[in-house]
Amino acid sequence: MTLHADADAVLSGWTAPTDEEELLRKEFLEHLHTHDDAMWRGCVPGHLTATTAVISHDGASVLLTLHPKAGLWLPMGGHCEETDDSLEAAALREATEESGIAGLRLLPGPLALDRHEVWCHPPRSWHLDVEYGAVAPPGVEPVISDESLDLRWFPVAEVPELSDEATRRLARRAQKVVRG
């Protein structure tokens, strides 16, 4: 199965938890059906991306990166690559690369969808973000990558103001799954 086909299957089978995300799910599917290159950064109107909220083993904290371009504390994530065979693989790869944590366990997902404007293709381009959660093994220390200005654990209920609501929502949903 191609990455494009996997994304279609994931989004077709996903039950959106909110009306807003149901509209996004339909928009993402339409984008996939309209653009053969919808999974790749080169797709100018926008492209699907994968994001992962890394949650501590006990569900208390979320690991966020200080994104150099956005200037916000955000979950790990980014563009799909040719080596990714699924959205889950892209989400786990991005989380591992950007957190420096080996052994992350991906939660069943996706947990959320988000659409946000980005700088990939000025003056306007969109990330159609499929969002997951992953659990870090106990006692691990994250390692800052060259894609981050900083990397820190925050209590899920205390995601900093220098973040966004999509990050808060994803962290809460991942925490809820971890804590059952």
Domain count, the chain: 1
- CATH classification at residue 172: 3.90.79.10
Domain membership of residue 107 as a residue range: 3-179
In sequence order, the 6+-apart residues with CB closer than 8 A to the CB of 157 are none
Residues paired with 127 in a beta bridge: 47, 116
For the residues 102-126, what does the mean pLDDT come to?
90
Closest Cα to residue 91, out of 171, 104, 143, 146?
104
Closest Cα to residue 29, out of 50, 51, 14, 44?
14
Question: pLDDT (tens digit, 9 = 90+) per residue, 18-58?
Answer: 999 999 999 999 999 999 999 999 998 899 999 999 999 99
pLDDT tops 90 at residue 69: no
Question: pLDDT (tens digit, 9 = 90+) per residue, 133-174?
Answer: 999 999 999 999 988 999 999 999 999 999 999 999 999 999
**Average of per-residue pLDDT values in the chain:** 95
Closest Cα to residue 105, out of 33, 55, 30, 47?
55
Q: In the chain, how many H helices and how many E strands?
A: 4, 8
Q: Is the pTM of this model over 0.85?
A: yes
Closest Cα to residue 168, out of 155, 180, 151?
155
